[in-house]
Amino acid sequence: AQTVTQSQPEMSVQEAETVTLSCTYDTSESDYYLFWYKQPPSRQMILVIRQEAYKQQNATENRFSVNFQKAAKSFSLKISDSQLGDAAMYFCAYRGRGNTPLVFGKGTRLSVIA
């Protein structure tokens, strides 16, 4: 079974600085999708960014970017110019081929210090 590991239960960053959240996963598949979800205090899950494993180029969405290392099975999230509104739980998730459900990591709680 696939597993997703987020080794940092909590992180903090100064406003306007950059922070990187780590995620590793275990799979024997070659084709899959990876996601980062944000859960603010409202608890509404919001998709931040996604990466298709067959694409070598790292995904980018405004201030959010990923470092996808397929061989190392690593999928880290970089948040640039951190804002107070970025404070949230961040979950890394994996989905294999077909319609298999998403598998989530345990999350990283990010605090942003003004």
Partner 1 sequence: DGGITQSPKYLFRKEGQNVTLSCEQNLNHDAMYWYRQDPGQGLRLIYYSQIVNDFQKGDIAEGYSVSREKKESFPLTVTSAQKNPTAFYLCASKFRLPANTGELFFGEGSRLTVL
68-to-14, 19, 44, 54, 75 alpha-carbon distances in Å? 24, 16, 26, 11, 5
Which among 33, 45, 38 has a CA at the least distance from the CA of 21? 38
| Smallest separation (angstroms) from partner 1 to the CB of 28 | 18
When the beta carbons of 33 and 64 are compared against partner 1, the nearer one is 33
Does the protein bind partner 1 through residue 102 (CB under 8 A)?
yes
Contact mark string toward partner 1, 31..70, x via CB under 8 A: --x-x------xxxx-x--x-x------------------
Would you tell me which residues interact with partner 1 (CB under 8 A)?
6, 9, 33, 35, 42-45, 47, 50, 52, 91, 95, 98-99, 101-107
